[in-house]
Amino acid sequence: MKFGVFGINVGVCADAEVGARVARRAEELGYESVWTGEHVVLPAPQAPPSPVPPETPFLDPAISLAFIAARTSTIKLGTGIIILPQRNPCVLAKELASVDVVSGGRLIFGLGVGYLKAEFDALGIPFTRKGPRTDDYLQAMLALWTQENPQHSGEFASFEGIQALPQPLQKPHPPVVVGGHSPHGLRRAVASGNGWYGFAMTPEQTAESLEGIEEAKQQVERPSSLGDLEITITPSGAVDADVVKRYENLGVDRLVFLTFAADGDGTVGVIEETAKAIGLN
């Protein structure tokens, strides 16, 4: 079982020095990874299903992870998740390839389709057909990351006769982790992801989603080149060694813990207490 820290660019960790301090301490404690969240904008005033108040600061994931890369040595750097249909795939591919290069090959690319219509409206992105746009953008990014002469022809993105170097250090590309609990999201993870990410889930909810993944495997083909589907969960509720064992018995490969606190000292305290509770190191 691998362990990560969520929210390294959010709230108090949107202070870059605090985020770097938390990431360094996580690395010292033996955590495998730190993960960003993403909302480019938030509805104001807050209204369901918006997850946090509009006053909550979010650093851009790529900028945050590049800064943290310079302050750490080994810890992996995950986007958990980037809302892919809101992004230009060529620009995002460049940004994330740059993170992988400057970090020495530590990027994990987590993506999702998004769910806040107000956010899409503000960005001028259609809220409809988010799934097909996500699939197209992902294939465009993979073309830029892996092809000697990148080209892609899709409904939402097309290019040829271009080059975009450097490509990521990780080959064939950084791990792709697909978020989302819907049947479409689960099928996307099976068809295109190295992993699947479920956020704020109990063991019971996790078990239900894993059953959905098994159903998705009967519905879509999984390329053998992707290997086994790695399962990442941000657990809901308090955790200890027994809770970790419950997730592990379900087949979860990585737990990424919520660490929000009032200040940097509190956040460091949370990851230290969590490490002790789960028997890390």
Domain boundaries, the chain: 2-278
pLDDT at 281 over 90: no
Query: pTM for this one?
Result: 0.98
Radius of gyration of the chain (CA): 18
Instruction: Tell me the backbone φ, ψ of residue 233, rounded to 5 degrees.
Output: -135, 135
**pLDDT > 70: percent of the chain:** 100
Give domain 2-278's CATH architecture: Alpha-Beta Barrel (3.20)
User: What sign results for the dihedral spanned by CA atoms 128, 130, 135, 140?
Assistant: positive
Q: Which pLDDT does position 221 carry in this prediction?
A: 96
C-alpha closest to that of 92 among 110, 77, 74? 110
Q: Which pLDDT does position 7 carry in this prediction?
A: 98
What is the chain's mean pLDDT, rounded? 97
Rounded to whole angstroms, how far apart are CA atoms 71 and 163? 30
Rounded mean pLDDT of 209-214?
98
140 close to 173: Cβ distance less than 8 angstroms:
no
SS3 83: strand
> Of all helices (H) and strands (E), which one includes residue 158?
strand 158-159
DSSP one-letter code for 234: E
C-alpha closest to that of 6 among 253, 277, 236? 236
Rounded to whole angstroms, how far apart are CA atoms 277 and 279? 6
pLDDT at 181 over 80: yes
pLDDT, one tens digit per residue, over 3-61 is 999 999 999 999 999 999 999 999 999 999 999 999 999 999 999 999 999 999 999 99
Q: Which pLDDT does position 186 carry in this prediction?
A: 98
**Which residues, at least 6 apart from 64, have a Cβ–Cβ distance to it below 8 Å?**
8, 9, 16, 19, 36
**Which residues, at least 6 apart from 115, have a Cβ–Cβ distance to it below 8 Å?**
49
Cis, peptide link before residue 45, omega less than 30° from 0 = yes
Q: Which pLDDT does position 6 carry in this prediction?
A: 98
- Tell the residue number behind the tokens 């990410």, with chain if given: 197
Rounded to whole angstroms, how far apart are CA atoms 142 and 147? 8
Rounded mean pLDDT of 252-257?
98
Q: Which pLDDT does position 25 carry in this prediction?
A: 98
pLDDT, one tens digit per residue, over 59-105 is 999 999 999 999 999 999 999 999 999 999 999 999 999 999 999 99
> What is the residue type of 255?
L
Rounded to whole angstroms, how far apart are CA atoms 127 and 257? 30
Q: Which pLDDT does position 103 carry in this prediction?
A: 98
